[in-house]
Chains A and B, each alone.
Chain A
Amino acid sequence: MAARVLVGVKRVIDYAVKVRVKPDNTGVVTDGVKHSMNPFCEIAVEEAVKLKEKQLVKEVVAVSCGPQQVQETIRTALAMGADRGIHVEVSGKDYDALGPLQVSKIMAALAKKEEANLIILGKQAIDDDCNQTGQMTAALLDWPQGTFASEVVLEGDKLKVVREVDGGLETVKLDMPAVVTADLRLNTPRYATLPNIMKAKKKKISVVKPGDLGVDVASRLEVLRVEEPPQRKAGVKVETVEDLVSKLKEGGRI
């Protein structure tokens, strides 16, 4: 029986917000914009809590990396049923440059420190769409991985994962400890009910720095420019099929 599950949760711009690029093209506007937990991370938390409710795991620990505000996200995970939280404090320039490589180093270090048997992450974050953290974490730990999971079944000390791949569904069996990343159809996350949010206030969130874990968060990437996608230009209406064909020829399309 797995003792401890680590769940990574990321604070991202809310999916319903219209994202705008900063005037200096260095990034997107985050000031004063509504943020919430990455939807795939919600699914990951839900899966971990479900395992706990089935008594297949003992403890669910929610982890997030970032400035003070990420504690709100951890609190939401606690309200959904996680037992305690770990806030890895990264702020300012370091936070802007924080990417999957750094986060997976942190997750790997924490997994060792907390003696976790299972790490569940969202398959990707809706802000950068990297889809790398789970895979990198598994590689750093040299653990098996089950990514794009649409079903997870714990059978003794083995993990059966059904993966959604381009060709259809693939079922793999992993030895524990392992890393799983959650895909959309894994489950439907529960609402954090208000009574649970109140109970979550009493749960603990410990704060650590990447340095304490022996992790170097320096980035190897430099963002040169962020731009909006080109404006969609208006189309042209034509009267007949002949007109259409000639227009296409003119434009060099055929």
Chain B
Amino acid sequence: MSLNRLVLFSKSVRCKNLLTPLIGQFRSVTTIQSQRSFRTYARNLVYAKDLFLGKVNKAEVFPYPEIDKEELEEIKQFVGPVEKFFNEDVDSKRIDHEAKIPSETLNGLKELGLFGMQVPEEYGGLGLSNTMYARLGEIISLDGSIAVTLAAHQAIGLKGILIAGNEQQKAKYLPKLAAGQHVAAFCLTEPGSGSDAASIQTRATLTEDGKHFLINGSKIWISNGGLADIFTVFARTEVVDKDGQKKNKITAFIVEREFGGVTNGAPEDKLGIRGSNTCEVVFDNTKVPIENVIGEVGGGFKVAMNILNSGRFSMGGACAGMIKKLIELTSEYAGTRKQFNKSLSEFGMIQEKFATMALNAFVMESMAYLTAGMMDRPGMPDCSVEAAMVKVFSSEGAWICVSEALQVLGGLGYVKNYPFERFLRDCRILLIFEGTNEILRMYIALTGMQYAGKILTGKIKEMKKGNVGVVLQMLGKKVRESVSSTVDLGLTGNDGVVHPSLADSAKKFEENVYYFGTTVESLLYRYGKTIVDEQLVLKRVADVLINLYAMTAVLSRASRSISIGLRNHDHEVLLANTFCSDAYFKNNFLMAQLQKNAPENNDDSMKKIAKEVLEKRAYICSHPLERTF
């Protein structure tokens, strides 16, 4: 990749200073028109990635996705029975205590049809869209163990067959899986390969007759490992690529427990989601027919990534559902408990906690359904970055909100008689599984940086070719940029897509996006390819982007609510404006830290501290009571 050329260009045109980013000086002077992008990429759903170029693709996210009346009626019909079941027939306390979901409960879930929500109707499932799936996820999340069991079964366990399987595999396996007769599990992680999924060592060797693969290896942290009959297993196979070279590439297999050689270890004794079965699964010469390869031999890694990406967004809905429930439970207490002759709800610090919960639920909902709506559009839109952002925000937001809710109840929140401690323990896993938040932040930042880098070098190439128009365009942009300015990316004003009562927040958002675009450019210039190793930089980039996407989601959703006059839309405007204001200042600070030699940035010191501690594998300061004489 020619990021070096970017450097050369800047030197050759003798305008190094034109590429230096502006440092937080956005006071209004003049207006800049939105820059027209240079089309070197296929027109596919590109929202998050274009934010890296300081560009807002309004059409992708405005107006907020809507489902038609019939679908809404249908989903409302579904919500009733599921809520009833969870309120009356699910004893979460018992499930947590016994570390097991009772078989009556599992049967109830199967009969309700919850084991095949996204399996097409022709195979016996409910054929729900992503949006409807997310809606039901809001209710199912009331019990963490059940939510994880169902997700492990259908969001990842059988997803491979659904999205990459052929007709025969679908017809053979999906009906029983949808009915819950068979339970599925997803087997990727190994003792030596967690975040680094591409390094798995489980092997699949072709038999002499070429009709079977023999799978050998062990997998850990497998949800439903003890209950499953059907496993989606990832193993290395020998592949001869087009150059005639032998390579070991990952392949995805449908493995039935009946094939033999499949054993599972004892269930893990976990902090939370204790009712979900998690164990080690070992494959010892398990014979798998070649018809059970999902997709192509050697194409397994991509299948794995697609599976994981497709289910991620639903965490937003699940967390929002949980927080909404917590708000109900906690406000009941805060309204009745009195101290100092006032009810708790009259105290500022308690009120702040409720505002935090409401804001988080609002943002999570907005992001989740925006992403689901985008994913439900025809074609195969790649929303992996957006889904990852939903996951990171929702998992961390949920963890904070549950903790705050517990705090409101004080000592009562700490005891097992109340569900708060269970919600807290169940929530902790959200930041770890389905891609740790650290990995996802890297993914979010790097995917965007790579995309931006490609576009920018594409532009450089054109200029080198002598495309005068592009040169003038870039120069003109740089000249205007060097003057402090307000930004107009088309969200407000006469053709604006955002409702006037949100105009202020939209302006803040546009400013952030613009600053972000220039910051990204300067980072690429400063680091080039080595940006991959700058985790603390990438972390901030990801955080800014997540905030930007969140702001987009709330602006879009609130605009729609006002425009169609939904109940309590004033409250939505308040939530949207509050969140955007908060995120705006946070983003500005993060981006200030990203500028060259920023005094706000302590990364070098942090790394030095970490190095000294890790070298000695201990805290190295002398004890404060120590003497030298």
A contacts, CB < 8 Å to B? 32, 36, 72, 75-76, 79, 191-195, 197-198, 201
Q: Do A193 and B112 have beta carbons less than 8 Å apart?
A: yes
Chain A residues whose CB sits within 8 angstroms of the CB of B82 once the complex forms: 194
Asked if A198 meets B121 with Cβ closer than 8 Å, knowing A72-B73, A193-B112, the reply is: yes
Least CB distance, A10 to chain B, in whole angstroms: 16
Q: Do B74 and A191 have beta carbons less than 8 Å apart?
A: no
Q: Do B111 and A191 have beta carbons less than 8 Å apart?
A: yes
Q: Do B76 and A72 have beta carbons less than 8 Å apart?
A: yes
Known: A192-B80, A194-B81, A194-B117. 20 other contacts (CB 8 A): A36-B80, A72-B77, A75-B77, A76-B80, A79-B81, A191-B81, A191-B111, A192-B77, A193-B81, A193-B111, A194-B78, A194-B82, A194-B114, A194-B126, A197-B77, A197-B78, A198-B74, A198-B121, A198-B126, A201-B74
Chain B residues whose CB sits within 8 angstroms of the CB of A197 once the complex forms: 74, 77-78, 81
Q: Which residue of chain A has its CB nearest to the CB of B116?
A: A195
* Whole-angstrom CA separation of A94 from B77 in the bound complex: 27
Least CB distance, A109 to chain B, in whole angstroms: 29
Main SS at interface, chain B: helix
Chain A residues whose CB sits within 8 angstroms of the CB of B111 once the complex forms: 191, 193
Least CB distance, A66 to chain B, in whole angstroms: 16
Chain A residues whose CB sits within 8 angstroms of the CB of B173 once the complex forms: none
Identify B567's interface contact among A32, A36, A193, CB under 8 A. A32
* Whole-angstrom CA separation of A194 from B113 in the bound complex: 6
* Whole-angstrom CA separation of A251 from B122 in the bound complex: 74
Chain B residues whose CB sits within 8 angstroms of the CB of A79 once the complex forms: 77, 81
Residue B589 is within 8 A (CB to CB) of chain A in the complex: no
Q: Which residue of chain B has its CB nearest to the CB of A197?
A: B77
Chain B residues whose CB sits within 8 angstroms of the CB of A192 once the complex forms: 77, 80-81
Q: Do A191 and B85 have beta carbons less than 8 Å apart?
A: yes
Q: Do B567 and A195 have beta carbons less than 8 Å apart?
A: no
Q: Do B113 and A193 have beta carbons less than 8 Å apart?
A: yes
A-B CB pair tally, cutoff 8 Å: 41
Q: Do B73 and A191 have beta carbons less than 8 Å apart?
A: no
* Whole-angstrom CA separation of A194 from B77 in the bound complex: 8
Least CB distance, A71 to chain B, in whole angstroms: 9
* Whole-angstrom CA separation of A210 from B121 in the bound complex: 38
Q: Do B85 and A76 have beta carbons less than 8 Å apart?
A: no
Q: Do B77 and A191 have beta carbons less than 8 Å apart?
A: no
* Whole-angstrom CA separation of A191 from B73 in the bound complex: 18
Residue B84 is within 8 A (CB to CB) of chain A in the complex: yes
Identify A191's interface contact among B84, B126, B567, CB under 8 A. B84
* Whole-angstrom CA separation of A254 from B114 in the bound complex: 62
* Whole-angstrom CA separation of A198 from B78 in the bound complex: 9
Chain A residues whose CB sits within 8 angstroms of the CB of B76 once the complex forms: 72
Least CB distance, B74 to chain A, in whole angstroms: 7
Least CB distance, A225 to chain B, in whole angstroms: 28
Interface pairs A-B: 7 shortest CB-CB? A194-B113, A195-B113, A191-B81, A192-B81, A193-B112, A197-B77, A193-B111
Least CB distance, A213 to chain B, in whole angstroms: 27
Chain A residues whose CB sits within 8 angstroms of the CB of B81 once the complex forms: 79, 191-194, 197
Least CB distance, B175 to chain A, in whole angstroms: 12
Chain B residues whose CB sits within 8 angstroms of the CB of A191 once the complex forms: 81, 84-85, 108, 111-112
